[in-house]
Amino acid sequence: MSWTEIVIEIARDHAEALSEALMDVGALSVSVEDADEGTDAEKPLFGEPGMEPTEAAWDHSRVVALTDEDDDQAVIVAAAAGQIGLTTLPKFTTRKVEEQDWVRLTQSQFAPIHIGKNIWVVPSWHEAPDANGLILELDPGLAFGTGSHPTTRLCMEWLEANPAPGKTVLDYGCGSGILAMVAKKVGAGEVVGVDIDPQAIESAADNAQRNKCEIEYFLPDTFAQSKHATQRFDIVVANILSSPLKLMAPMLSGRVADGGALILSGVLARQAEEVAAAYAPFIKLGVWAEQDGWVALHGRLGSDVVPAAR
């Protein structure tokens, strides 16, 4: 089976509305791209982890709609344009999309990821490049955390650089469970993960089983009712977002055992001071490392010294 893509270049003000209208009149899927991609005029759109940009459009946008090969693409464009009140029919081109092995094509886009000195995140359809490395078998999924984002990498590198033989670890906002698994594989004893998303908890538990890691995962409510309700941990790691991290400063700091370490990420470099200030009454934090404009903050409970950057 083959399909036909409709490609329309249009101004930002109409991109999202046209996308929705194309879906309403029969398009199978629609995406919006930067029409200036690959040129000096390209403008990246990004948000913090777990937060999409408020508007998925550019000043010079390209709307791409997938349709059945037998559809009348001109009729679809005209109907969508009319639905959003465009007085002039936008110019468009079409291109044929041949049937492919989409599973194999998608898998080819995800290769093993090398992190830190010895960590490899390896999709299930790949062989590990270094059999002696710290191997995490992890397929891309809905839960955040595959090691591709700088915030995840920073936390993984901290855990690798600070092995925790026998220590207790709390991964708050665990997503896919990747940080909890790294902690376990560098020697931690009891490891616990918490997330507000039930799907993340299910994904994390599956990943832990696949990687032969004994880890307990909880939703916040069940965590509060578990045997860990008042437990303090030797290491607490939270890769979330700067705003919730600030709000959770008393709670997360209160989960750190005396002399224990707190590691925070999901923080842009420009946000580091305000996040550290929110934790200052409880624990002194400093920037451990920075990657691509993101930082990891760390500190030890009971220490008055702000840790130096790596």
Task: Write out pLDDT tens, residues 195-212.
Answer: 999 989 999 999 999 999
Instruction: Looking at the structure, give the CATH architecture of the domain made up of residues 3-99.
Output: 2-Layer Sandwich (3.30)
Asked whether the beta carbons of 261 and 236 are under 8 A apart, the reply is yes
| Residue 171 half-sphere exposure toward CB, CA atoms < 13 A | 29
- Say whether 197 counts as a known binding-site residue: no
Could you give the CA distance from residue 20 to residue 32 in angstroms, rounded to a whole number? 11
- Per-residue confidence (pLDDT) for residue 284, from 0 to 100: 97
Sign of CA dihedral 284, 289, 291, 293: positive
- Per-residue confidence (pLDDT) for residue 263, from 0 to 100: 98
- Say whether 195 counts as a known binding-site residue: yes
- Say whether 173 counts as a known binding-site residue: yes
Number of H helices, E strands in the chain: 10, 14
Mean pLDDT over 246-256 rounds to 97
Could you give the CA distance from residue 179 to residue 185 in angstroms, rounded to a whole number? 10
Instruction: Compute the mean pLDDT over every residue in the chain, rounded to the nearest whole number.
Output: 86
Looking at domain 148-301, which of 3.90.1150.10, 3.40.50.2000, 2.30.30.220, 3.40.50.150 is its CATH number? 3.40.50.150
Other beta carbons within 10 angstroms of residue 36's beta carbon come to: 15
Write down the pTM of the prediction: 0.68
Compare 225 and 304 and report the one with higher pLDDT.
225
- Per-residue confidence (pLDDT) for residue 156, from 0 to 100: 95
- Say whether 260 counts as a known binding-site residue: no
Residue whose token pair is 């702000």: 306
- Per-residue confidence (pLDDT) for residue 2, from 0 to 100: 77
Asked whether the beta carbons of 298 and 288 are under 8 A apart, the reply is yes
Residue whose token pair is 């109907």: 79
Q: Which of 21-25, 80-84, 135-139, 163-167 has the lowest mean pLDDT?
A: 135-139
Q: Is 138 exposed, middle or buried (0-12, 13-18, 19+ CB in 10 A)?
A: buried
Residue 304, pLDDT > 90, answer no
Q: Where are the domains of the chain?
A: 3-99, 148-301
Tokens for 25, please give them.
């009149």
Amino acid, res. 306? V
Condensed to tens digits (0 to 9), the pLDDT of residues 75-126 reads: 999 999 999 999 888 899 999 887 655 445 455 556 788 899 999 988 877 7
